[in-house]
Structure 1
Amino acid sequence: MKTFARLIRRYVLATAGIILVVVALLLGMTIYAGVRYNGASDSVQKVGALAEALHPTADGLQWDAAYTPAEWMQGYAWAMVLDEDGNVIWQQDLPEALNHRYTASDIAVFSRWYLADYPVQCWAADYGLFVAAEPVGSQWKYNITAPQARMEAMVGGLLPVAVLLLAVVLGCCLWFSWRGARHLQAVADGLDTLAQGGAVQLPTTGFAGELAEKLNETGEQLRRRNEIIARRDTARTDWIAGVSHDIRTPLALILGWGEQLQQDEVLPAAARQKAAGICTQSEKIRSLIGDLNLTSKLQYGAQPLRRKAVTVGPFLRRCAAEFYESPAAGDSTLELELTQAAEHTVVQADEALLLRAIENLLHNTVGHNAAPVHVTIRADAADGMLTIQVTDDGQGYPPAVLAVLQAGETGENPPHILGLHVVEQILAAHGGTAAFAQALPHGAAAALTLPL
């Protein structure tokens, strides 16, 4: 199945796409965070503004009058100014423990990191070194130092490493997908085999092992069920053929004796009339037996189609002639209407089966109407299809029969439609259709359609 191959390919491509998107998002977030949250740069700039807001006066260093000291120190814990010797010459909220002289080494240390756990920032002003401290725990302040060559090598090797990692991830995806595709392909082949009516025995290893095991069980159940159905169908066909064969011999004797009694002028007219009725009913039984055998063979494909070229015009005239010669026709009449296209149209069909279909329609028409009827056979060929319509002016199909023919609704007591069912089977075997409806203003209408 190509579906599984496409499915695996889509998963692999989707995985690769997701990896690329995630990498791009991580890089973008890193760059955004570096630009958006560059706290050290912001802190230095703010300390510079504070240092510039402090002015030397006659009374010492004083804040700019634009804001109060509390407003200037908003966000800071304390501030101080050191002279060149490290002495505190000005302070704002400086803790008592930190109010002392600082050596050059002390200044070098806390300017880079912390002073008594306070993160501090320094600014060199004309009046001295301005130092401002933020609250404890408010800033993360660490410096990273590395050789220039190492950093350049790291940056230069970042792209190859990323490509290598991506290749490894894709390789893993492809390998797992290939392994999964092998098992899924076996399952797909098994499904194809089951769909075609075959038996399967799939290996039950791998991640699809449970599914394969279920398919094996399903295949075994289908095989057993098909064997039961085949044995049942064979038994049914053999039984029908056997019963039909056993009935033919006594039926032939009944017909022969009935015809002799019907033609015996010594017998009274009433007795000869009864003998004619016996012959008529025997002919119906013979027709039913033939239909039963034929529908059984058509249903199970045991009836071969001996296709040959059949010219529609002569064929339908032959059907009409045989109908008139049949005793079942009685006083009914038949009219044949052929278009010029249908007259010379040739169909590839089993002539005997097609003749049987027309006969069944004609006999059904005269057999289910008490009074003689007028039957019309119309034929036309157009758009690659041959259409044969058989209509009569009788009482039409009973509603129950029409419901079964049109919708397949059988109900509790389905009507007897074996002859018409045979017509449907014969047309279906030829790739055509049979449709039944009521004729207007009254009567029955059957339409047979055959592909040319």
Structure 2
Amino acid sequence: MKTFAALIRRYVLATAAIVLLVGGLLVGQIFYVGFKSNAVDATGYRVGALADALKQTETGLQWGREHTPAEWMQGYAWAMVLDDNGNVIWQQDLPQKLNHRYTASEVAVFSHWYLADYPVQCWAADYGLFVVAEPVGTCWKYNIDMKQKMIIMLAKSIQPTMVELLLVVLGCCLFFSWRGSKSLQTVTAGLDTLAQGGTVSLPAAGFAGELAQKLNETSEQLRRRNEIIARRDTARTEWIAGVSHDIRTPLALILGWAEQLQRDATLPAAARQKAGGICTQCEKIRSLIEDLNLTSKLQYGAQPLRRQSTQAGPFLRRVVAAFCENPLAARCTLDCSITPAVETAILHADAALLTRALENVLQNAVRHNAGPITLAFHADADETTLHLTIQDDGTGYPQSVLAVLNGEPEGENAPHILGLHVVEQIINAHGGSVQFVNRDPHGAKVMMQLPLAKDENEK
């Protein structure tokens, strides 16, 4: 979230740079327009050029022959020449309403301003004063006087003034950027807290006040929702535990009576066989109840891992030996292979939970195959990982079971995989991974990887 505040700061500085650039371009445009406004139209001539083009001949003043009078006067309304006494000694298109003699004061006035609303320009030549007028309303004339000291002072102060303005603008930008960054840091800290599952109560004022208020509202909604979920999960866990506890007592009675009937020699063989079937189904129900309790606790973090450093080789041999004493082992042939690398490997794990996971895999392979099967239990290890493989030559997993185990969403008729789901949860809780696949041409295969401790003292 730190990059968010940095991004805002970067955009504020970029905005300041753009403002300065636009200001500089505006000033440059003003100077450019001013320069262009002083330039004479390309189709006309400057006053000095017109005055020089007027030549003294035997018959009087005349334009140079390289252009016609109309071409010389292009862009101007009229022109005249005054002698030293103010008399008009030559004119071109001079209106009749204008005087033909001007006093020194009149010349002084119109040389700076206007003559009968015509903006005029004057040029002193050998033959007299050349006066040319532009059309009415085409030019504004202003007279500006400024002391030399003032001009020099302005010239010297332009650069410092521009630097001061630049510093003021940058200072304002940095100040507002800092204030916005402080507000955004509070917001980003709140976002980090929300991302970690916490609740926030941010001050809803300043630059990011509206955003902070939205975060506060979101935090409150998440808190209420988490409260509802927590209560629901607690109720579910307690309900499962209560139902399981209530089922165990009648189930124990049924199992005990069925075992008595199974051992009663006075009963017919068929009756004792049915009693044995009841015992088998009761054991399945008890196993399902235990799996249901365990998966519920693992899912909601109610089952703590009691980790201890355990030698992998002896631990795995104990699990296999315990399975061989189970009545289900009579329906299979077990081949156990443990490499020497496993003997010195150290597991930092909950031995009881791992035993449950391995028993679930072994018992699941026997229960879900009608005839005798061959089970292969193989364990190997490298420097960091214990690799366990349990495979059989039975019918394999149904495709619907494999689809659910591989993470596909469960449909309405989802298969029963509670025992294998417990295996996944236990292995994942230890930081490991598990894969369920089918063998070719038939059979099932479970591959488990568990991280190893570096030494026996690692906790």
Please state which band the TM-score falls in when normalised by the shorter chain: over 0.9
SS of the residue corresponding to residue 163 of structure 1 reads helix
Please say if residues 44 and 121 of structure 1, whose CA atoms lie closer than 8 Å, have aligned partners that are also in contact.
Answer: no
Please say if residues 391 and 443 of structure 2, whose CA atoms lie closer than 8 Å, have aligned partners that are also in contact.
Answer: yes
Q: For residues 41 and 71 of structure 1, do their structure 2 counterparts lie closer, same or farther at Cα, with a shift above 3 Å needed?
A: closer
Say whether residues 1:153 and 2:173 are aligned partners.
Answer: no
Deviations 1:262-287 (A, max 9, x none): 23333222122112111111111111
Deviation of 1:396 (Å): 1.1
Deviation of 1:342 (Å): 3.4
Say whether residues 1:427 and 2:412 are aligned partners.
Answer: no
Provide the residue aligned with 2:65 in structure 1: 65
Deviations 1:375-412 (A, max 9, x none): 22233334633221222111111111111111332111
Please say if residues 183 and 208 of structure 2, whose CA atoms lie closer than 8 Å, have aligned partners that are also in contact.
Answer: yes
Percent identity reads 67
SS of the residue corresponding to residue 262 of structure 1 reads helix
Q: Which amino acid aligns with 2:390?
A: V
Provide the residue aligned with 1:407 in structure 2: 407
SS of the residue corresponding to residue 330 of structure 1 reads helix
TM-score by length of 2: 0.91
In 1, Cα distance between equivalents of 2:142 and 2:37 = 15
Provide the residue aligned with 1:89 in structure 2: 89
Q: For residues 71 and 383 of structure 1, do their structure 2 counterparts lie closer, same or farther at Cα, with a shift above 3 Å needed?
A: farther
In 2, Cα distance between equivalents of 1:22 and 1:177 = 20
In 2, Cα distance between equivalents of 1:143 and 1:347 = 100
Deviations 1:2-59 (A, max 9, x none): 3454244324422432243234323433443444443379999722222222222222
In 2, Cα distance between equivalents of 1:322 and 1:52 = 126
In 1, Cα distance between equivalents of 2:380 and 2:402 = 25
Once superposed, what is the RMSD of the aligned Cα atoms?
2.4
Provide the residue aligned with 1:381 in structure 2: 381
Deviations 1:113-135 (A, max 9, x none): 32222222222222222222122
Provide the residue aligned with 1:328 in structure 2: 328
Say whether residues 1:172 and 2:189 are aligned partners.
Answer: no
Deviation of 1:360 (Å): 0.8
In 2, Cα distance between equivalents of 1:341 and 1:131 = 115
Q: For residues 209 and 19 of structure 1, do their structure 2 counterparts lie closer, same or farther at Cα, with a shift above 3 Å needed?
A: closer
Say whether residues 1:318 and 2:331 are aligned partners.
Answer: no
Provide the residue aligned with 1:251 in structure 2: 251
Deviations 1:108-154 (A, max 9, x none): 22223322222222222222222221222222332321111222222
SS of the residue corresponding to residue 273 of structure 1 reads helix
In 2, Cα distance between equivalents of 1:335 and 1:103 = 135
Q: Note the residue ranges of structure 1 that are not aligned, 5 or more in a row.
A: none
Provide the residue aligned with 2:418 in structure 1: 418
1:346-357 → structure 2 map (5 Å cutoff) = 346-357=346-357
Q: Which amino acid aligns with 1:244?
A: S
Deviation of 1:358 (Å): 0.9
Provide the residue aligned with 2:107 in structure 1: 107
TM-score by length of 1: 0.92
Q: Which amino acid aligns with 1:86?
A: G
SS of the residue corresponding to residue 124 of structure 2 reads strand
Provide the residue aligned with 1:201 in structure 2: 201
Provide the residue aligned with 2:126 in structure 1: 126
Provide the residue aligned with 1:144 in structure 2: 144
In 2, Cα distance between equivalents of 1:382 and 1:63 = 110
In 2, Cα distance between equivalents of 1:259 and 1:339 = 41
Q: For residues 373 and 140 of structure 1, do their structure 2 counterparts lie closer, same or farther at Cα, with a shift above 3 Å needed?
A: farther
RCO (CA 8 Å, sep 6+): is it higher in 1 or 2? 2
In 2, Cα distance between equivalents of 1:406 and 1:41 = 84
Q: Which amino acid aligns with 2:348?
A: Q
Deviation of 1:182 (Å): 4.0
Provide the residue aligned with 2:455 in structure 1: none
Deviations 1:322-378 (A, max 9, x none): 222111233211222334433432221111111111111111111111112112223
Q: Note the residue ranges of structure 2 that are not aligned, 5 or more in a row.
A: 453-459
